[in-house]
């Protein structure tokens, strides 16, 4: 009997760039919210696909209007 491994399901969009955009509340790497990231393992495939559908718009917003990184202030004299 030839058995195949079960399908892995919907993959995570994580790309190992884990920084949260404070203004929007999205990860700069995968564009998910912290709640979506935390819940990912327990979500069903339909919920994961619903998140995936939102990511292109979020990624475009992150690229179009990045939050500026301010330089460090000079040390006190």
Summarize pLDDT for 34-77 with one digit per residue, the tens: 999 999 999 999 999 999 999 999 999 988 876 665 667 777 87
Sequence-distant (6+) residues with CB within 8 A of 29 are: 14, 15, 16, 17, 18, 19
Give the separation between CA 53 and CA 56, rounded to whole angstroms.
Answer: 7
pTM over 0.75: no
Summarize pLDDT for 13-32 with one digit per residue, the tens: 999 999 999 889 999 999 99
Give the separation between CA 12 and CA 4, rounded to whole angstroms.
Answer: 22
Structural domain boundaries of the chain? Answer: 20-64
């Amino acid at each position: 009997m030839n058995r195949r491994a079960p399908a892995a399901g919907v993959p995570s969009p994580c790309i190992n760039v884990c920084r949260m955009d404070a203004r929007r509340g999205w990860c700069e790497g995968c564009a998910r919210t912290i709640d979506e990231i935390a819940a990912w393992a327990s979500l069903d495939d339909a919920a994961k696909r619903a998140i995936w559908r939102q990511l292109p718009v979020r990624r475009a917003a992150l690229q179009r209007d990045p939050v500026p990184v301010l330089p460090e202030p000079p040390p006190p004299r």
